[in-house]
Structure 1
């Protein structure tokens, strides 16, 4: 489409304006065609896959960084004591892996034992009822997950409070990074416990999960507090502060067990006894 700059007349072709005779050779303004519009729109259409690929690549990069850091801590656990606040994401990931692996290992073990007791009689009853072929996955794992979360939070809160009472300068990110980093070796124990849970090995599964849980509740708080007291420029009773952190964590764990875990264990025992 050509447009005259003198009288604004529009026409499809020609060298001169049909109304005023002005030359259109130099003043004609070509309008965008359908091909031009499609070509201009094509980068926008292709932008979404590019962004998706960028997210995937970034996720892979983050996983690779966490894996490298976890291996470094496993090879040399003392590295965890020098963790900075930039590692707080890795700390949170480790704590999440700890509770997930703990819940799965216990569930797989309980489900294996339940199947061994009930055997083939599960098919004679309604699905999800008495004699079901498998234990309810979500209800049991969610409960185990929450118990592990409470134990982790209790341990972390005790470290946080004692560090505050010590008037030691630190950031929450720094504490999360150090707490999670020191937890890496015992998170690995829970991951290994999943395999033994699938195999139905009661002794190995409960030993690994028990050691990791006891370490998290009773030992980890004192280790972190003692390390912080050692690095402090103030004169602190390191042993007392470290012992106090573990005592606070154990007390919180006792309250959790008293209020919830005993009832949950009785429910599991009743489910296992259904086969007799």
Structure 2
């Protein structure tokens, strides 16, 4: 039985009072209503709590994965498709870390140039655009990583390897672990304002990832399927160099010209 809160009229059903049209009050006991609201609140919080637990577990698992490969990168050569996502995450971390390191390098160069200009009596105050530089370097670095991966896959398939694309990404990303550590060192050197150290670490990191990792991976993938392991391994590096040359001529020179125009104002 529902009771109207305005005129106290009682009726069996209906959301509105038959006499005055006021919304009818529910006859659910207050204690039961509190229990229902509490149960609903608890139920709504369960997915959030479960989500937090899942995120913490995922971060813990990835941290263990990263430290394991940092201690022994060779384990990445046996990675399967189950570690595909970890490989992608490693690639993303590598690319972002390299981009930030190069930004810090450019920023350090600009500050050094401004300091030199102030010594000559020139008042310069130029801010290096963070997002413009970082996004551009991310794009270029992804190109080189893609070149290395495509060269590896092409020569592996030429050597009749049965490796899948996902498996190769898992293994390639796993092998990036020590180079991520190098990029992090480059970031620290950039924050410290050490231009030569930052430049050396970042250059070596990108060079080895683009031209040396394909050799390691192809050598491992075709060792049981082809007797031309050496040529196929070296061929992957040569192919990466050839594609990189085309990319550099087509795109990177234009970007370097933009950076040159940027530094001309310093």
Q: Which TM-score band (shorter chain)?
A: 0.7 to 0.9
- For 2:226 and 2:11, the matched residues in 1 are separated by 90
Report the Cα offset of residue 47 of structure 1.
3.3
1:54 and 2:50 correspond: yes
Which residue of the other structure, out of 17, 39, 44, is the alignment partner of 2:40? 44
Q: Which residue in the other structure is 2:139 paired with?
A: 146
Structure 1 equivalent of residue 87 of structure 2:
91
Partner of 2:203: 210
Q: Can you list the C-alpha shifts for 1:232-260, whole angstroms capped at 9, x where unaligned?
A: 2x343101111111111112211221122
Aligned length: 242
For residues 145 and 102 of structure 1, the distance between their equivalents in structure 2, rounded to whole angstroms, comes to 8
> What is residue 171 of structure 1 aligned with on the other side?
164
User: 1:21-78 CA deviation, whole Å, 9 max, x = no partner?
Assistant: xxxxxxxxx9533542342233322334332232222222212211211211121222
Q: Quick check: 2:215–2:237 contact (8 Å CA) kept in 1?
A: yes
Inter-partner Cα distance in structure 2 for 1:102 and 1:152 = 12
TM norm structure 1: 0.79
Q: Deviations over 1:249-276 (max 9, x none)?
A: 112211221122222222223322312x
2:61 pairs with 1:70: no
Q: What corresponds to 1:263 in structure 2?
A: 254
Query: How far did 1:203 drift?
Result: 1.2
Q: For the Cα contact (< 8 Å) 1:109–1:199, is it kept in 2?
A: no
Give secondary structure in 2 for the equivalent of 1:167. coil
- With structure 2 as the length reference, what TM-score do the two structures score? 0.82
Is the contact between residue 115 and residue 134 of structure 1 (CA under 8 Å) also seen in structure 2?
A: no
Q: Shift of the alpha carbon at 1:205?
A: 0.6
Distance in 2 (CA, whole Å) between partners of 1:239 and 1:141 is 37
User: Which residue number in structure 2 is paired with residue 100 of structure 1?
Assistant: 96
Write the deviation string for residues 199-255 of structure 1: whole angstroms up to 9, x where unpaired: 22121111111111111111101110100112x2x3431011111111111122112
Q: For 1:210 and 1:67, locate their aligned partners in 2 and report how far apart those are by CA, in whole Å.
A: 26
More deviation in 81-90 or 175-184? 81-90
Tell which deviates more after alignment, 186-195 or 65-74.
65-74
Aligned partner of 1:241 among 228, 232, 257:
232
Q: CA RMSD in A?
A: 2.5
Give the direction of change, closer, same or farther, for the CA distance of 1:77–1:120 in structure 2 (3 Å limit): closer
**Where in structure 1 are there 5+ consecutive unaligned residues?**
3-8, 12-29, 123-130
CA 1:49–1:192 in structure 2 vs 1: closer, same or farther (change >3 Å)?
Answer: farther
Show structure 2 runs of 5+ residues with no match: 3-9, 13-25, 119-123
2:159–2:226 contact (8 Å) kept in structure 1:
no
